[in-house]
Each structure stands twice: as structure tokens, then as C-alpha cells.
């Protein structure tokens, strides 16, 4: 099996890279562009904000070609369904695409999702024709409800946003994978390449991260590390790992021993 023919789909659109990356927190737009290129990501998240009325400042899209990437606008910073829906409508108008990363936060300290508001927003957005990719807790029932509503994927967190704690509950992710048919993307919590590989080895369709790359000492190198980790994890999952055993099993034959 080669990784090349292992594509995946979101809402009828085909993608090759299973690494999705954010565009926040980089030292410069130049660094953002270089990290994106090194990551090989095809889907990148962006935020929707007021334009700076002082036009002396450059903007993200001066550095990133929207034709080269699928832009996935987020609703970061929204704490109510109403705010999130409003942001998605603006995002669709700004980007002329229906793809949205829906997040409705419940708490500033943890940035955990407010799942009640999330469901409310998801229902409205799906009805309005959006392709909704919701950031949610690693909760099986929530993921099932989001699938029932008509979301295009579910994006359970591995750990709190920006925490770098890795996949704290791989068993929940496994049950989610067994429960829903839509793509499961681990969103948030990845800190290092091994975390990304773990997500892929569990069988996730993809991984979304921002801080792990942007916050690394060398973001370009980390972007490449994440690209390789996602590919390695996926290949490992497809290859089928050996069962875990408590005792040893010799690799060298006993026959012919001197």
C-alpha cells in the first residue's frame, strides 16, 4: 500500500493530506506560509475578524493563496450559538465557501466546548447548507448527535486547545471511531509528532493542529515533523499492528543454535 492512493473525503471533496493546520500565532506571515508549505496541509483554518481600518498593515491572504488551500474559517472566540452562526454567515460571504469549523466555547480557562450551544448552532448551519466541521469534546454521544444533525465530520479534542497534552483519552476516540461513519478528526491538544501519530494509529481520518507547530522553537521543522508523523501513523494503522503481549517472543529462530 502506498500513501498516495489513500485519499479521503469531506462532503464530497477529496483530500490527500490528513494534516490540517491553523494559521494563528506565527511570528510573521512569511513564517506562516513556509510552515504551511512544509506541513503539506491542504485544509487550513482561519479566523474571521474585523479588518484593520489602518490599511498600512498586511493581511494573511497577501501571503497565502486561497486557490491553493481549502480555507476552513473558524468561529473561535464565540460563546453562543447566535455569535457562531453570525460568524459562519460572514465567513461564507468573505470566502465564498460553505466549509466552517464550528466551535462554541463554554469557558475561557479550558476553552472546552459548550456542547448545548454547539448542537443548536450546528442544526441552524446544516439547514442553511453549510459544511459543518464541529470542534467538540471527546464524547461519543455528542459525536453521534452531531452526525445525526448532518455535520460533515466530527472533531473531538485530544486535550484542551493549545495545551500540548496529547490524546488524553484514546479509548473515547476509539469508541467515537466505532460509532460514527463520518470522518473523525482530532482537533486540539497535540503537542508533538508522536501525539499526531497516535491519533492516526487510532484510525482517525485526520488531525488538526495549530499551536504545536506555530509555538515550536522551529515551526518549519515541526510542520515537516507533523507531516511525516501523520503519514507514518496512517500507514501504521493501515498496516495493522501486532497484538500487545505481556511476555517476550523471540525474533531469532532457536533452530540451528550452536
Partner 1 sequence: MHITLNGEAVDIAEGSTVAGLLEHLQLPRERVAVEVNLDIVPKAAYDGHGLSEGDRVEVVHFVGGG
Task: Please list the active-site residues.
Answer: 101
Question: 29-39 and 219-239 helices cross at what angle (nearest 10)?
Answer: 20
25 binds partner 1 (CB under 8 A): yes
Residue numbers 205-224 binding partner 1 by CB under 8 A: 209-211
Among 3, 11, 37, 60, binds partner 1 (CB under 8 A): 60
The reply on whether position 59 binds partner 1 by CB under 8 A is yes
Q: Give CA–CA dist 12/201, Å, rounded.
A: 24
Is residue 45 close enough to count as binding partner 1 by CB under 8 A?
yes
Of the candidate residues 1, 53, 242, 248, the single one contacting partner 1 (CB under 8 A): 53
User: Which residue's CB is nearer to partner 1, number 49 or number 238?
Assistant: 49
Tell me the C-alpha distance between 206 and 75, whole Å: 20
For residue 46, state whether it binds partner 1 (rule: CB under 8 A): yes
Per rule CB under 8 A, is residue 11 in the interface with partner 1? no
Q: Which residues contact 216 (CB under 8 A, 6 or more apart)?
A: 222
Residues 166, 213: Cα–Cα separation, whole Å: 13
Map the footprint of partner 1 across residues 76-135, applying CB under 8 A. 76, 86, 89-96
List the beta strands (DSSP E) in 112-242: 131-136, 155-156, 185-187, 206-209
For cell 442553511, what's the residue? Answer: 128
Site residues (CB under 8 A) for partner 1? 22-26, 29, 32, 45-51, 53, 55, 59-61, 71, 73-74, 76, 86, 89-96, 161-162, 209-211
Amino acid at each position: 500500500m502506498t500513501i498516495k492512493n489513500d485519499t479521503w473525503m469531506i462532503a464530497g471533496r477529496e483530500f490527500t493530506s490528513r494534516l490540517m493546520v491553523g494559521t494563528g500565532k506565527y511570528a510573521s506571515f512569511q513564517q506562516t506560509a513556509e510552515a504551511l508549505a512544509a506541513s503539506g496541509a491542504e485544509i487550513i483554518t482561519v479566523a474571521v475578524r474585523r479588518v484593520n481600518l489602518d490599511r498600512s498593515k498586511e493581511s494573511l491572504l497577501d501571503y497565502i493563496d486561497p486557490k491553493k488551500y481549502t480555507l476552513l474559517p473558524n468561529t473561535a472566540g464565540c460563546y453562543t450559538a447566535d455569535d457562531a452562526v453570525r460568524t459562519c454567515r460572514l465567513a461564507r460571504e468573505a470566502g465564498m465557501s460553505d466549509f466552517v469549523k464550528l466551535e462554541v466555547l463554554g469557558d475561557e480557562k479550558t476553552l472546552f466546548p459548550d456542547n448545548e450551544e454547539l448542537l443548536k448552532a450546528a442544526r441552524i448551519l446544516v439547514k442553511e447548507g453549510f459544511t459543518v466541521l464541529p470542534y467538540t469534546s471527546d464524547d461519543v454521544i455528542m459525536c453521534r448527535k452531531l452526525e445525526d444533525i448532518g455535520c460533515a465530520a466530527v472533531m473531538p479534542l485530544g486535550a484542551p486547545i493549545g495545551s500540548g497534552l496529547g490524546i488524553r483519552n484514546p479509548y473515547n476516540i476509539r469508541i467515537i471511531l466505532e460509532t460514527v461513519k463520518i470522518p473523525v478528526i482530532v482537533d486540539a491538544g497535540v503537542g508533538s509528532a508522536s501525539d499526531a501519530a497516535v491519533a492516526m494509529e487510532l484510525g482517525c481520518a485526520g488531525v488538526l493542529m495549530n499551536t504545536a507547530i506555530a509555538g515550536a522553537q522551529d515551526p518549519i521543522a515541526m510542520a515537516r515533523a507533523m507531516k511525516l508523523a501523520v503519514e507514518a501513523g496512517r500507514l501504521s494503522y493501515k498496516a495493522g499492528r501486532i497484538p500487545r503481549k505481556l511476555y517476550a517472543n523471540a525474533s531469532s529462530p532457536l533452530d540451528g543454535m550452536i
